[in-house]
Structure 1
Amino acid sequence: MSEPMLEGTGCSMHEPYALQVLGPDMEPEFPDKCVVIVEPTEQCRSGMYVFVEVEGVRWFRQYRRDDQGREWLLALNERFPEIELTGLEWKVLGVIIQRNIRRRIKHYEYRDAEGGSSSAPATQVNAVDITHQGA
């Protein structure tokens, strides 16, 4: 059985889609078996949670770029190594816009950070828990 493809044509390939997180790489923010919603895009900024393909392997990580232009992918769980992107073939498949843990929903919005430095991401993540709103 072949691996499912995300490529295609038509408007359906421009709609958000859901993926299940497998493993502890992005804990504690994105625990094993939680569901994330991915907004398809080929663009990202430092600090965004992204779904990317690196050398034919797909990853869910946080994208970082420093003042010198170095790029890498970070797991939130420090037990997992960062992935240096310099010299590798890679592309962004989408950015994470929502997380669902046992029906607790959290939205992620990205905005440019003010007065950024090389240690701080150029993008601030605004996460909003909407689980009990309007209930």
Structure 2
Amino acid sequence: MSEPMLEGTGCSMHEPYALQVLGPDMEPEFPDKCVVIIEPTEQCRSGMYVFAEVEGVRWFRQYRRNADGREWLLPLDERFPSIELTGLDWKVLGVIIQRNIRRSIKHYEYLDAGEPASAPQTAIDAVDITRENA
């Protein structure tokens, strides 16, 4: 007898969860093998770091929307491709709220501002709470 598939209806599906970054796409801010904490949500604003699904493939990128309403998922390492979302089937699965690199913890608090894609990355206020001096 097979187990029934879990649907996204339980309260645990709404709790933050951790994933390990695999690859250099989001370096230097999120190096390969660091751990990120994701707050499940389908809402995001320009400048947020997001975990998203595009055409059935999951991506960790920075979401950007310009003044004309065009949207992208951008890597921080320019050697990797940007994903223009126009005409694609996509959704946000969550936003990154914390990064952990060998016990060095940084929180991401997103300010209430919707800058266009060409604006400086001021929509994010990162707080380093490293316990190296403890």
Alignment match, 2:92:
92
TM-align CA RMSD: 2.2
1:125 paired with 2:119, answer no
Alignment match, 2:12:
12
- TM-score of the pair, normalised by structure 2: 0.89
Number of residue pairs matched by the alignment: 130
> How far apart in 2 are the matches of 1:123 and 1:106?
16
- TM-score of the pair, normalised by structure 1: 0.88
For structure 2, the 5+ residue unaligned runs are: none
Percent identical among aligned pairs is: 83
Matched AA of 1:42: E
The runs of at least 4 consecutive aligned structure 1 residues that moved more than 6 Å come to none
> How far apart in 2 are the matches of 1:92 and 1:37?
15
Shift of residue 61, structure 1, vs aligned partner: 0.1
Cα deviations by residue, 1:36-88 (Å, 9 ceiling, x for unpaired): 00000000000000000000000000000000000000000010011000000
What does 1:43-62 correspond to in 2, within 5 Å? Answer: 43-62=43-62
1:111 paired with 2:104, answer no
For structure 1, the 5+ residue unaligned runs are: none
Secondary structure at the counterpart of residue 112 of structure 1: coil
Matched AA of 1:64: R
- C-alpha contact 1:45 1:123 (8 A) present in aligned 2: no
Cα deviations by residue, 1:77-127 (Å, 9 ceiling, x for unpaired): 01001100000000000000000000100000000238x455116861011
Secondary structure at the counterpart of residue 27 of structure 2: coil
Alignment match, 1:65:
65
Quickly say closer, same or farther: Cα 1:133–1:103, change in 2 above 3 A: closer
- C-alpha contact 1:34 1:99 (8 A) present in aligned 2: yes
Quickly say closer, same or farther: Cα 1:55–1:64, change in 2 above 3 A: same
- C-alpha contact 2:103 2:131 (8 A) present in aligned 1: no
